[in-house]
Amino acid sequence: MSIRIVFEISQRDLQRFRSEMRRVRRTVRNVDEADILATADAALSRIVTQPAPDFISQRLPKLQTLINMLRDGGWALPKTQRTKVLSVLAYFSDPDDLIPDVIPGLGLLDDAIMIELIVRDLHHDIEAFEDFCHYRDIYYKRHKIGRDAVTRAEQLAAKRKQLYARANRRKQRDRKQGTAALAT
């Protein structure tokens, strides 16, 4: 039997999370991206091998997508989004964040909230990235390796540009409608 507990994060609570993320963002500026990724990979591996609460397990695939967005040279995640992703990865990797990770059952609650906030903030970018990966996979299947590498690069760059533009249009639409994600 499971129990469903729903709680609302108030504007004041969100402000606390945003403040914490701004603190992490300032720290991230001075840390090598490869170090953040390595630490996030280690933290993710640790959680995957141990039983984690569902509220964190359900967010791990999106966290992996965020990592993939950073690593994918073909996608070239823009700097603003890159900084946000690095910040959430640094937060996720820190065992002594708002709720220390060693507290059984609850230690990852703040991490799950931070992941959820960044996923909501970047959902159009995540969707565009996933569409880009799908397009690239199909393109590579249709056009075998060995074809004109310049044409291939141009096609992927054009698709990436189109998807960036789509994500930006959708973000602007959300802002106008007042449905913008809760930016961290």
The whole-number pLDDT of residue 181 equals: 52
Question: pLDDT value at position 146?
Answer: 59
Q: What is the pLDDT along the chain (184 residues), one digit of tens a residue?
A: 778 888 888 999 999 999 999 999 998 988 999 999 999 999 999 888 877 788 888 999 999 999 999 999 999 999 999 999 999 999 999 988 989 988 887 889 999 999 999 999 999 999 999 999 999 999 888 876 656 777 888 999 999 999 999 999 999 999 888 865 555 5
Is residue 111 within 8 Å of 89, Cβ to Cβ? no
Four-CA torsion 46, 79, 117, 19, nearest 10 degrees: 100
Q: What b/e readout covers 44-79, taking b as 16+ CB neighbours within 10 angstroms?
A: beebeeeebeebbeebbebbebbbebbeeeebebee
Delimit the domains of the chain by residue range. 12-177
Q: What pLDDT was estimated at residue 62?
A: 94
pLDDT at position 180, please? 57
pLDDT on residue 145: 64
Predicted pLDDT at 147: 63
Cβ atoms of 77 and 69 within 8 Å: the answer is yes
